[in-house]
Structure formats: structure tokens, C-alpha cells
Amino acid sequence: MMDNAALLYALVQNALDGIITIDDIGTIETINPAGCVLFGYQPEEVIGKNISMLMPSPDKERHNNYLSKYKTTRKASIIGVGRELTGMRKGGALFPMKLGVSEVKYSGRTIYAGFIHDLSQQKIDEEKYKDYASHLEELVEERTKSLNDTIFALEKAKEKVSISLEKEKELSKLKNRFLSMASHEFRTPLSTVQLSASLIEKYAIPFESEPIGKHIGKIKNSVKSLTAILNDFLYVEKLEIGKMKPEFTCFDLVKFGEEITEEMQLLAKPSQNIICKHLGDQTMIYLDANLLKNCAINLIGNAIKYSGDSCCIDFTTEINDLDYIISVHDDGIGIPLEEQKHLFQAFFRAYNTGSIPGTGLGLNIVSRYVSLMKGTADFKSNEQEGTLFTLTFPIS
């Protein structure tokens, strides 16, 4: 069997990282093959020399200062792991490295073992991923601006046009065609951006870089917002051309409410609480579950957006002898009285929404989905006092 000394020697000689030992005044006593390759020296060129020959300024002066303090205090401030320094190869070429130093008691004296890991490739990869993340962020911003500019230009053109009913219908067709085209054309590059961001996040895990994580989060949030906008455009286009048809099925309204509450609670602000309750003995209803879910998510999403950080949002389902009823109540900013008549119009947003994001399509879609299911959408609201939305579907 190999004795311990031979085993240790073999480990040092075959280590992938550089290993150098020095005495208490910084004189190099040993260097392993990986260390020779790393710094470009033969053993005889460095053994007996001061370790500072392998460091450029100011790291050289700092290291000399560490040794000087040690001679005075006998406390080794150089001991530690994970310090990033700059190494200097033979010929003067510099490279980033991570240095860990251990104090070793050997043959009645103290020596220090330095473990050196080359960070060159890691630094190159970090810069590459930073550049890639920045490029993706710029791409998302560019796509967003292009889409917003096009939509704004389209709406402006529509406002200025005062033509016959036939031409108005033709303009509407062109708008729907554009919405369909834009939604489909943007979906593919957005999917690519989302996938690339996820891959960057995966490959950047070893670096534990906070800036990379921050930029990836911004990219993902931007893609998510754009995808929601494109979905709204597709819904409007399908409604306009009559492609949206309800598919009635029988399902459990209580379970439906609980699932939506759980899903939306994840999207709520940290101190917001969504309270779900059901009224009535019956639980089974006959409606289009997908359309109804879209309506509920839209109303609860608005309640989350337009309410304070600490509040309760009431989500109530009810079955009585005559109707199925869905209601959402919040204590948010409310809707100004003079603007309430426009609430269900496409692209309408009240003046008090400020910088809160939105397209003004959500409530228009809700109203039209409710109509497809032969129901009615009503609301009561006072500015700064909150809003109650009620969806009512007669039991046929």
C-alpha cells in the first residue's frame, strides 16, 4: 500500500490547481507542476525567490505588507480562502486568480500553502453572459417600442378617419388583420427571448452573479407583459370576427373558485390577501369554464393592480334559484364617476390609473365574454373607495 507521504505527494503533483508553499518571510519552497504551467516558470526559477515575483502591483505591495505585519504581530492576516487577486506570468502577462492560503505546522516550524485557481475562462464567460443578457433586454425593449408605436399610430389614424359605414367596416377588418398578424409574428421571437433568458439563468448559476439575475428577471417580466398584451389582442380579434364561441360544460363552481384564488394569490402583492367564499347549497353550474376563468382572472388581476400593498380582495361565487353570480370586490383607487360610462370600451383607461400598466382591453373582453354566455356585467365604484364587479348568468 502507498504510505501517507507518498499519497500526499502524488495528490499535490497531479492537482489541477497550482499549489505553492512559502516560509514565514515569503520565500517559495515548493511549487507543483500545475503552478509551473500557470505562471510559466520552471521550479528552479522560482524556488528560493520571494512569492511577490508572481504578483503585479498593487497586489505585490499588499502581500509584502501582509508578511511585514506577520513578522511584527505573528498573526497571519493572509490566511483565508476565496480572495481574488491578479497573477503575473513569466514575461509579465497578467491573469485573474483566486487564492486560498492555509497555515501548516511542519517539522517544528510554520509554512504556508497557497492554492491558486485560474479565473481567466470564468471571467470571459461572465462577460459573455452579461453582454448576452444586455442584448436580449435591448431586443425586448425594441420590440415593445415598435409594437406600441404601431398601435398608437393605428389608433390615431382611426380617430382622424371620418368616412362612410362601408369604409369604417373595411378599416375595422384591417385593424383585426393587423392585430392577428402582430400577435402571431411577435409570439415566436418572444418565445425565443424567454427560452434564451432561461438558458442564461441556468448557465449563470455557478457564477452567482446578482446583476445577471437582475437582468434576467427584467427580461422575463417584460416577455410576460408583452405576452399578456398579445393575448388580449388575439382575444379581441377572435371576438371581432366571430371566431369565439362558448363551449358550455357542467363543472364545480366551488372548486373553480378555489383554484383561481390559489393561482392569483401567487401574483398578489406580498401583503394582499384574496378571500374566496361561496354562497348557496348548490355547487354545479353550466357555463364555459375557460371564458369564465378568463373573466375572473381579469377582474382579480385588476383588483391586485389597483389596490394598496396591504388589503383584502373578496372573490365570491353564488348559486341561487335564478342565477349564477361571480363578484370581485376591492378597496382600491376606484373609478372616477365621470369616466364610468366608458369603462367597458376597448382601449379605455381612467385618468387616475397613472403609470400602472395596462392596455384598456381587459374589461372590454370580460364584457363580451359575459355576453357570449348570455350574462350581464355590472359594477359599483367610488374613487378612492374601491370597486365591486358583479357577473350574473341566468340559470336556463
Question: What whole-number distance in Å separates Cα of residue 76 and Cα of residue 82?
Answer: 16
Radius of gyration, CA atoms only, the chain: 34
Please tell me the least confidently modeled range out of 130-139, 271-280, 292-301: 130-139
Percent of the chain with pLDDT over 90: 23
pLDDT in tens, 153-169: 777 766 665 555 566 66
392, exposed or middle or buried, with CB in 10 Å at 0-12, 13-18, 19+?
middle
For Cα atoms 293, 264, 232, give the angle at the middle one, nearest 5 degrees: 55
pLDDT in tens, 230-273: 666 566 656 665 666 888 999 999 999 999 999 889 888 888 99
CB atoms under 10 Å from CB of 356, counted, come to 11
Highest-pLDDT range among 80-89, 233-242, 295-304? 295-304
Taking the CA atoms of residue 239, residue 243, residue 249 and residue 253 in that order, the dihedral angle to the nearest 10 degrees is -20
Please tell me the least confidently modeled range out of 48-52, 68-72, 305-309, 314-318: 68-72
Would the pLDDT of 196 be above 90? no
What's the mean pLDDT in 27-45?
90
Sign of the torsion formed by the C-alpha atoms of 365, 369, 374 and 377: negative
87-96 in b/e form (b: 16+ CB < 10 A) is bbeeeeeeeb
Q: Which pLDDT does position 240 carry in this prediction?
A: 60
Q: What are the residues whose beta carbons fall under 8 Å from the beta carbon of 209, sequence distance 6 or more?
A: 126, 129, 130
